[in-house]
Structure 1
Amino acid sequence: MILSAPIYRLKRNARLLAREQRIPLHAALDRVAHREGYSSWSLLAARAARPAAGLSARLNAGDLVLLGARPGQGKTLLGLELAIEAMKAGRRAFFFSLEYNERDVIDRFRALGTNPSLDADLFVFDGSDGICADHIIARLADAPRGTLAVIDYLQLLDQKRTNPELAVQVAALKSFADRRGLTIAVLSQIDRAYDPAEKPFPDAADIRLPNPLDLTLFDRMCFLNAGRIHLGETGRS
């Protein structure tokens, strides 16, 4: 769910608006929802219960997206939820991971209430040791426009010395996504120095980058913390 503020704060804003404008609370809630881009509060609340649905609706063909969070904050689950949203829409989804095996992914799908075996034609898991930009591009060579690919995770692409530099790989992925009309979501580690007491969400400055990378290659950056999702400034802004 991509909102300008948490749900509880939006509700508080609605209550203040209702008092200031002397209007019913339900009308104030709807006004707040309109400001967030939703036709009604009920729709906003429904989407809030399905965070991946809200994020998926904001993504476009050709987007290269970074999903960043500290360990245990749900970035892998969010990536899999995005894959589920793609499959619900009849689009193919690929999950490339150097961290998880196929059993891990199946278990997480089941925890999300989805049986991946029912979507064998739409979902592809790749846990090859050779995952890098060239490998991913080769696997997606015949993927139709609108396909979603999730890469778990950014820093592991840079692990093998035989792979091209991370900046070269990310540039290749962005060019490929643009050319083929695919959406590529890249999970990313956040630096241990990030302190949630100082700011509620990480941002681009907190992305762990052992080697230089032009972050403007990413069209969107999404950060997670404490069960909430924030769509940060885009790399190209």
Structure 2
Amino acid sequence: MRFSHPVFRLKRQARLLSREENIPLNRALDMIAAGEGFKSWSHLAANASAGRPAGAMLAQLSPGDLVLLGARPGHGKTLLGLELLAEAAKAGRRGFFFTLDYSDADVIERVRAIGIEPGAISSSIMLDTSDGICAGHIIAEMQAAPPHSIAVVDYLQLLDQRRRNPELAEQVAALKAFVQSAGHIVVLISQIDRAYDPGAKPLPDLTDVRLPNPVDLSLFSKSCFLHDGEIRLDAA
């Protein structure tokens, strides 16, 4: 079934409706779903799951990959990261979600927005919203994880926000060395520069990554960019 808008836009409509009507987000999601002909958001999300790119994307990631996942705000990069972890959990793999941007409640809300009950994946995915997240913290938390574990980090540009943390370039290099030696996958969600013009090209690329501090982007083995419901995964 086709929707009136891409799912990420429907979620945005629900968030706006929630604020405007001062109602819980889950109720707003259900109202948006009803407008699309579904009895609840969970049914809409289940219908959309067949067309989600996360499963196909996960199949293209290999142990040792350091992946950059970039999009402008509101285009679904965090949700895609969470879907990747949910797909990994279904396959019996260990997952980690490190975020410096969201609270525990925010993450739970977003997991429910993709049609998944947090309890169904809580035993397989570790959620970390601590303020001390940096490359060293991520490596320490994943050190004992079984091979082929996957982490999603939200997001790249916040890793060196604390002065005591190493420079961003040093942290990315450390994560690259770690995933290669441990056989894990780390996906770093990234901001895209406001100068990106979708009229000039339909999807951003590495030249559009917002880098307030320099980073060697060749350290990433794969990159994935989203915009307006479109997605592209490229090998370095």
Which TM bucket (shorter chain)? 0.7 to 0.9
1:174 corresponds to which letter in structure 2?
K
- Please list the CA deviations of residues 122-167 of structure 1 after superposition, one character each: whole Å capped at 9, or x if unmatched: 0110000010000111111111101110000000012111110111
Distance 1:220 1:207 in 2: 14
Shift of 1:73: 0.5
SS in 1 for 2:93: coil
Q: What is the match of residue 90 of structure 2?
A: 88
Answering whether residue 165 of structure 2 is matched by residue 157 of structure 1, we say no
**Residues 226, 49 of structure 1: CA spacing in aligned structure 2 closer, same or farther, 3 A cutoff?**
same
Alpha-carbon distance in 1 for matches of 2:200, 2:206? 15
Aligned partners of 2:210, 2:50: CA distance in 1, in Å? 29
| Contact persistence 1:116–1:123 (CA under 8 A) | no
Task: For 1:221-232, list aligned pairs within 5 A.
Answer: 221-232=223-234
Q: Distance in 1 between matches of 2:122 and 2:169?
A: 33
Amino acid at match of 1:121: S
Cα distance in 2 for partners of 1:48, 1:207 equals 30
2:174 pairs with one of 167, 172, 192: 172
Letter in 2 for 1:203: D
SS at match of 1:174: helix
> In 2, distance between residues paired with 1:61 and 1:115?
27
Letter in 1 for 2:83: E
SS in 2 for 1:162: coil
Paired residue secondary structure (2:159): helix
How large is the RMSD of aligned CA atoms in angstroms?
1.4
What are the ranges of 5 or more consecutive residues in structure 1 without an aligned counterpart?
A: 1-45
Residue among 70, 81, 97 paired with 1:68: 70
Q: Would you say the 8 A contact 2:79–2:110 is kept in 1? A: yes
| Identity, % of aligned positions | 60
Contact 1:150 1:184 in 2 (8 A): yes
Consecutive unaligned residues of structure 2, counting only runs of 5 or more, are: 1-47
Which of 177, 186, 197 is equivalent to 2:188? 186
2:232, 2:186 → 1: CA distance?
A: 18
Residue 111 (structure 1) aligns with: 113
Displacement of 1:120 in angstroms is 2.6
- Matched positions, count: 189
Deviations, residues 76-95 of structure 1 (Å, cap 9, x unaligned): 00000000010010001100
- 1:154-207 C-alpha deviation (Å, 9 max, x unpaired): 000121111101110001001111111101000000000000000000011000
| Deviation sequence 1:48-75 (CA, Å, 0-9, x none) | 7121111111000110000000000100
CA distance in 2, matches of 1:187, 1:157: 11
- Give 1:113-128 correspondences, 5 Å limit: 113-128=115-130
Structure 2 CA distance, aligned partners of 1:59 and 1:48? 19
Residues 70 and 226, structure 2, Cα contact 8 Å, conserved in 1? yes
Q: Of the two, which has the highest radius of gyration?
A: 1
